[in-house]
Amino acid sequence: MIYLIGNWKMAPEKNTQAVDLVKKTAVIAKQYKKTLVTVICPPTPFLSLVSKNTKVPLLVGAQGVAASEAAAQTGLVSASMLKENGAQYCIVGHSEMRARGESNDMIKQQVDRLLEKKLIPILCIGEKSRDAQGWYLSEVKDQLDTAFADVSALQIKKLIIAYEPVWAIGAGAERAATPIECREMTVFIRKFLNDKYGEKIAKAVPIIYGGSADEFNARSFVEEGGTQGFLVGRVSLDAKRLAALAKSISQEKK
C-alpha cells in the first residue's frame, strides 16, 4: 500500500469548507482504497468536526502534540485530547515545527506520548542543506537516534517516517529534490532501522516522501525514489489535484 497523507496546515478558514474538503477527499480515498492509505491532518480546531464527517477508508490525523501530558501548558494539545477527538495519526518533527524551536529531544517526547496513547506518529526527518562530503547524513542520523532511543521493536512497526529535505521545500527552496536523492535517503534510513531493529522490521516501516511532490512528479518518486507514499501540503487542499496525484501513484508500474 502507498500512503497519501494530506497536511492541511492552517487551512481552510471555515467549518463548512473543512467539511466540503473532507467529503471530496473521502471520494478519492474510496476510489483508491485498494492501493492507497489516505489520511487527512486538519488544524486542531477542525479535528472533531472532520472526524465526525469521516468514514473508513479515509483516516484522520493531527498536526502536532505536546511533549507531555501535563495540564499546565498554554496553547498545547495532549495526545489524549487528540485521541478523544478522533485522531489516529499525528505529524511530529515537521520542518516548520523544528524551525519554530522544537528540538530532537522534544520530538522524541512527542513520539513517546503518541505511542503511549496508541496513535501513529508520522515522524518527519530531513537535512537543512546538502554538502559534498555527506555530513548531512549525520544530521539525519542524530534525528533518528534521538527519536527512537526508547522505541521498542514492537512500537516501531506502528510508526511512519517522512523524509523531508528542508532545502528543497517552501518559498526558500534551493531547488527541487530528485527521486535519486530521495532513494539515497530512503536506503540510509532503512539501514539505520536494520542496524537497530533487524531486517524484517526495517522492511516493515513505511518511509514516505515529504518534499515538494505533486501530480506531475509523484510517480517518479515511487518508481525511482523508492518512497512508499507522500506527505503533501497545498495539493491536499485542492481535490482535483489530489485526485490526479492519487491516480498517478496508484497506477501499476509500467
Section 75-91 average pLDDT: 97
Tell me if residue 224 is catalytic: no
Residue with cell 530528485: 178
Does residue 254 carry a pLDDT above 90? no
* Candidates 96, 164, 223, 224; catalytic one: 164
Question: What is the pLDDT at residue 251?
Answer: 76
Section 151-175 average pLDDT: 91
- Pick from 72-81, 129-138, 192-201, 244-253: least confident: 244-253
Q: Can you tell me whether residue 162 is helix, strand or coil?
A: strand
Question: What is the pLDDT at residue 176?
Answer: 85
Q: To the nearest 10°, the Cα dihedral for 172, 178, 37, 43? A: 0
Does residue 253 carry a pLDDT above 60? no
Question: What is the pLDDT at residue 252?
Answer: 58
Residues 9/44, Cβ–Cβ less than 8 Å = no
Section 215-242 average pLDDT: 96
pLDDT tens string 175-214: 889 999 999 999 999 999 999 999 999 999 999 999 888 9
- Residue 183 burial class via C-beta count within 10 angstroms: exposed 0-12, middle 13-18, buried 19 and up: middle
Q: Tell me the pTM.
A: 0.96
Question: What is the pLDDT at residue 86?
Answer: 98
Tell me if residue 164 is catalytic: yes
Does residue 170 carry a pLDDT above 90? no
Question: What is the pLDDT at residue 132?
Answer: 85
Average confidence score pLDDT of the chain: 95
- 32/243 Cα distance (integer angstroms): 9
Section 201-228 average pLDDT: 95
Residues 207/191, Cβ–Cβ less than 8 Å = no
* Candidates 13, 94, 174, 199; catalytic one: 94
Section 37-46 average pLDDT: 98
Residue 200's CB is within 10 A of a number of other CB atoms, namely: 10
Question: What is the pLDDT at residue 173?
Answer: 81
Section 32-52 average pLDDT: 97
Q: Which domains does the chain have, with CATH numbers?
A: 2-250 (3.20.20.70)
Question: What is the pLDDT at residue 85?
Answer: 98
User: Do the strands 229-232 and 2-7 form a parallel or antiparallel pair, or are they unpaired?
Assistant: parallel
